[in-house]
C-alpha cells in the first residue's frame, strides 16, 4: 500500500515538477543572456567617475586649498608690521649753503633752487600678540587643512561603499525584474489554457478564479519589481553623476 501511495503522489506532482523545471531552465538561460552586469560600466570605472563628479569631494578640495593658503598668509603675517613710505616733490626749495652745512654760524644766507626731491622712510611695529600667537595660528591653519584632507578621504570611502551597494542593488533588482516578467509570461500561458478549460467545462469557477488571481498577483509583483529596478538605476546614476547606458 505504501508503494502505491508513493506512485500516486509522483504521478500527481510530476506535471508540476516538469513545469517548474522548464520555467527554471528558461529563467536561468534568460538571466545568462540578459546579465546586466556584462553591459554596465566596470565598478572601478563608476567609482572613478563618481569621485570626479562628486560635489562633496569638490567642497573638501576647495576647503583644503583655502586652509593651505591660510598657512602661507599666517607665515607672512609679520610683513603687516613693516611700513615703507616714499614721496616725490618738484618745485622751488630753500637750501642751506655749504658753509651752513659745514657748521659756519656766520653764514645765514639761504638760496632757492628749482629741483626734485625724493623721500623714503621705513617703520616697524611689532605687537606682542604677533610674536606669541604666530606659531599657534600657523598650527591651527595646518590642522584645518589636515582635517579637510581626512574628511575627503572618509567621504571617498563612504562614496565607494555607496556605489558598491547601489551597483549590487541594481543587478539584484534587474534579476528580480526579469524573473517576475518570466513568471507573468508563464501565468499568461496558463490563463489562455484556463480560458479554454473553463469554456469546455474542464475546470470550475473556483479554479478559474484562482488562476486569474495568480496572474493578477504576478502582474502586480512585476510592476513592483519594475519600479524597484528603475529606482535602483536612477539612484546609481544620481550618485555617479552620469546617465548609464546598457
Distance CA 233, CA 228 (A): 9
Strand partners, 141: none
Label residue 240 by pLDDT band (50, 70, 90).
very high
Residues 6+ apart with CB under 8 A from 228: 173, 176, 177
Phi/psi at 118 (5° precision):
-120, 140
Distance CA 8, CA 55 (A): 67
32 or 227, which is more confident?
227
pLDDT in tens, 202-238: 888 888 888 889 999 999 999 999 999 999 999 999 9
Number of alpha helices (DSSP H) and beta strands (DSSP E) in the chain: 6, 2
The average pLDDT across 38-67 equals: 93
Helix (H) or strand (E) holding 175: helix 128-199
What 8-state DSSP symbol labels residue 202?
S
Distance CA 146, CA 95 (A): 62
pTM as predicted: 0.67
Percent of the chain residues past pLDDT 70, beyond the cut? 66
Distance CA 77, CA 130 (A): 8
What 8-state DSSP symbol labels residue 244?
P
Phi/psi at 231 (5° precision):
-65, -45
- How is residue 94 written as a grid cell? 630753500
Asked whether residue 174 carries a pLDDT value surpassing 70, the answer given is: yes
pLDDT in tens, 60-108: 999 999 999 988 888 887 767 767 666 665 555 455 444 444 444 544 5
Label residue 13 by pLDDT band (50, 70, 90).
very low
* Residues 187/213, Cβ–Cβ less than 8 Å: no
Please give the domain boundaries of the chain with CATH numbers for all domains: 2-77+134-240 (1.20.1600.10), 84-124 (no CATH)
Residues 6+ apart with CB under 8 A from 178: 27, 30, 31, 34
* Residues 64/145, Cβ–Cβ less than 8 Å: yes
Nearest to 244, CA basis, from 46, 87, 12: 46
90 or 50, which is more confident?
50
80 or 16, which is more confident?
80
Amino acid at each position: 500500500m505504501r508503494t502505491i501511495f508513493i506512485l500516486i503522489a509522483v504521478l500527481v506532482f510530476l506535471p508540476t515538477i516538469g513545469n517548474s523545471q522548464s520555467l527554471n531552465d528558461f529563467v536561468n538561460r534568460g538571466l545568462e543572456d540578459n546579465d546586466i552586469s556584462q553591459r554596465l560600466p566596470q565598478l572601478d570605472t563608476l567609482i572613478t567617475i563618481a569621485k570626479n563628479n562628486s560635489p562633496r569631494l569638490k567642497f573638501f578640495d576647495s576647503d583644503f586649498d583655502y586652509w593651505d593658503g591660510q598657512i602661507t598668509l599666517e607665515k607672512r603675517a609679520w610683513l603687516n608690521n613693516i611700513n615703507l613710505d616714499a614721496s616725490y616733490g618738484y618745485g622751488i626749495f630753500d637750501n642751506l649753503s655749504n658753509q651752513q652745512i659745514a657748521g659756519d654760524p656766520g653764514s645765514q644766507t639761504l638760496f632757492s633752487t628749482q629741483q626734485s626731491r625724493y623721500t623714503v622712510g621705513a617703520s616697524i611695529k611689532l605687537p606682542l600678540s604677533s610674536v606669541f600667537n604666530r606659531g599657534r595660528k600657523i598650527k591651527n591653519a595646518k590642522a584645518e587643512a589636515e582635517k579637510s584632507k581626512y574628511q575627503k578621504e572618509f567621504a571617498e570611502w563612504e562614496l565607494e561603499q555607496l556605489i558598491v551597494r547601489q551597483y549590487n542593488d541594481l543587478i539584484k533588482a534587474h534579476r528580480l525584474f526579469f524573473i517576475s516578467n518570466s513568471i507573468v509570461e508563464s501565468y499568461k500561458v496558463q490563463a489562455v489554457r484556463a480560458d479554454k478549460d473553463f469554456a469546455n467545462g474542464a475546470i470550475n469557477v473556483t479554479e478559474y478564479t484562482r488562476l486569474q488571481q495568480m496572474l493578477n498577483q504576478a502582474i502586480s509583483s512585476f510592476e513592483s519589481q519594475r519600479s524597484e529596478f528603475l529606482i535602483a538605476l536612477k539612484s546609481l546614476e544620481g550618485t555617479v553623476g552620469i546617465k548609464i547606458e546598457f
